[in-house]
Amino acid sequence: MSVTSPRRSARDRLLDAADELFYAEGVHVVGIDRVIERAGVAKASLYSTFGSKDELVRAYLQRRHEARRVRITTGLERFGNPRDRLLGVFDLLAETAARPGYRGCAFYNASAESDPSGVVQEEADTTRAWTRALFVDLARDAGARDPEALAAQLVILYDGSNAGARLDGGPQAAALARQMAAVLLDS
């Protein structure tokens, strides 16, 4: 399937192709020639737009982070009180994990196959910092005595439920993590 479209820029087509291929197969397994072919652009377009595969990977992960941030912040608007919003993060993860084609967290997947000092780690650190800050804010709003400590525990639950959802192939791990998060919040 080609992601070419006369109305889409080469950058968008490259990112669409990278998103599809990198998420399904891995950032290091997929070569730039496959991304270029899927995008229907010339090799020069990739290099003039991104400069290197590393920068394409960075743009892919930044796009994933932004989509995740929007999905979560928008999704949390449907929860009526601070406690439900905090636990709602796990509900949103369960919904995502239930979708066909879910292969886990793009950042965890890319980190598992990447140099710990490269662009993947930089972007993973950014998204993890955002996740931790989100949990700190939600814990504070929910009245936690120590929002930082609770957030650290919730990030571990979130990480584990992401991995469990990938390995188990469904939303059960996120649902269980939600139950555990409720116990932590109530203690």
CATH of the domain at 174: 1.10.357.10
Q: Which of 4-13, 38-47, 117-126, 155-164 has the lowest mean pLDDT?
A: 4-13
Share of the chain above pLDDT 90, in %: 86
Whether the predicted pLDDT of 148 surpasses 70: yes
Indicate if 28 and 45 belong to the same structural domain.
yes
Average pLDDT over residues 104-117: 88
How many Cβ atoms are within 10 Å of 105's Cβ, its own excluded? 23
The string of pLDDT tens digits covering residues 114-143 is: 888 899 999 999 999 999 999 999 999 999
As for how many domains the chain has, the answer is 2
Confidence at residue 3, expressed as pLDDT on a 0 to 100 scale: 52
Indicate if 96 and 42 belong to the same structural domain.
no
Indicate if 71 and 116 belong to the same structural domain.
yes
Indicate if 32 and 106 belong to the same structural domain.
no
Indicate if 45 and 105 belong to the same structural domain.
no
Taking the CA of residue 144 as centre, how many other CA atoms within 13 Å lie in the half-sphere pointing to its CB?
25
- DSSP code of 8? S
Question: Does 1 fall in a domain?
Answer: no
Question: Does 74 fall in a domain?
Answer: yes
Prediction pTM value: 0.90
Confidence at residue 54, expressed as pLDDT on a 0 to 100 scale: 94
Q: Which of 175, 152, 185, 15 is nearest to 96 (CA)?
A: 175
Question: Does 16 fall in a domain?
Answer: yes
Indicate if 157 and 88 belong to the same structural domain.
yes
Indicate if 23 and 105 belong to the same structural domain.
no
Confidence at residue 117, expressed as pLDDT on a 0 to 100 scale: 82
Indicate if 41 and 62 belong to the same structural domain.
no
Question: Does 47 fall in a domain?
Answer: yes
Indicate if 154 and 108 belong to the same structural domain.
yes
User: Quick check: helix, strand or coil at residue 29?
Assistant: coil
Question: Does 125 fall in a domain?
Answer: yes
Backbone φ/ψ region at 127: left (φ over 0), alpha (ψ -120 to 50), beta? alpha
Whether the predicted pLDDT of 1 surpasses 50: no
What domain range is 67 assigned to? Answer: 54-186
Whether the predicted pLDDT of 112 surpasses 50: yes
Indicate if 46 and 111 belong to the same structural domain.
no
Question: Does 2 fall in a domain?
Answer: no
- Average pLDDT value over all residues in the chain: 93
Confidence at residue 80, expressed as pLDDT on a 0 to 100 scale: 93
Whether the predicted pLDDT of 171 surpasses 50: yes
Q: Which of 19-23, 31-35, 104-108, 165-169 has the lowest mean pLDDT?
A: 165-169
CATH number of the domain enclosing 43: 1.10.10.60
Indicate if 115 and 26 belong to the same structural domain.
no
Indicate if 80 and 131 belong to the same structural domain.
yes
